[in-house]
Structure 1
């Protein structure tokens, strides 16, 4: 059941990533989905998902690994940087790298902090 859920969630996450590329130009679609995933994956892993761990681990793993794994993408991030450099857009590549790394880390930290805060407040999972 877990493998099936990972595949189904990966289909949805990949479809959303593809949709982002239809709305935003490259490399900004990759940046948007990666930053969104950096914020939401820690919330899923540390707040929403743990309640499913014992009852429906297949759903917890499916969404965490399948959905967020296919929504966010390190390989597209790397390819976007290489394409920018090859096109001579050095400043854009540097800005893209800086935003991706700094904002990604800050958003992941924010997601973890928010999940801890929600858990401390005894919020509903």
Structure 2
């Protein structure tokens, strides 16, 4: 595929990523995590983002309506990819380790992937139920 044909996708991902990252940053400004505390804000951002990813994937793959080809790159890879964050999760892990907060560190390491996967499942299940109730699944 020619590079020029991918420019709209790259633009959609970049624009969405900027919005998602700005929203994540805003969350950390509104709800900052004190040093050594459990990083609830990033935990919440990642769990919320995963739930929305579950809903989005059902809407773009399991409905009769065919979405615009840039919806998934913009919202999924861009907005939600910029909103959720593995790098800040890793930084929070490092900070907890440096602060000697072993119990919080282990809780964060265990709870994040479990809650994130549960959120994807819940978002997917909720979207499917909502669509089935409206008779709109493919």
Q: Give the TM-score range, shorter chain.
A: 0.7 to 0.9
**C-alpha RMSD of matched pairs (Å):** 2.2
Q: Which residue of 2 aligns with 1:11?
A: 18
**Structure with more helix by fraction:** 1
1:67 aligns with 2:79: yes
Q: Which has the larger radius of gyration?
A: 2
Q: TM-score, normalised by structure 1?
A: 0.86
Q: Which runs of 5+ in 2 are unaligned?
A: 1-7, 34-38
Q: TM-score, normalised by structure 2?
A: 0.79
Q: Which residue of 1 aligns with 2:3?
A: none
Match of 2:128 among 97, 116, 124: 116
Shift, 1:124, TM fit:
6.5
Shift, 1:2, TM fit:
2.0
8 A Cα contact 2:54 2:119, kept in partner? no
Q: Which runs of 5+ in 1 are unaligned?
A: none
Residues 87 and 4 of structure 1, relative CA distance in 2, 3 Å threshold? same
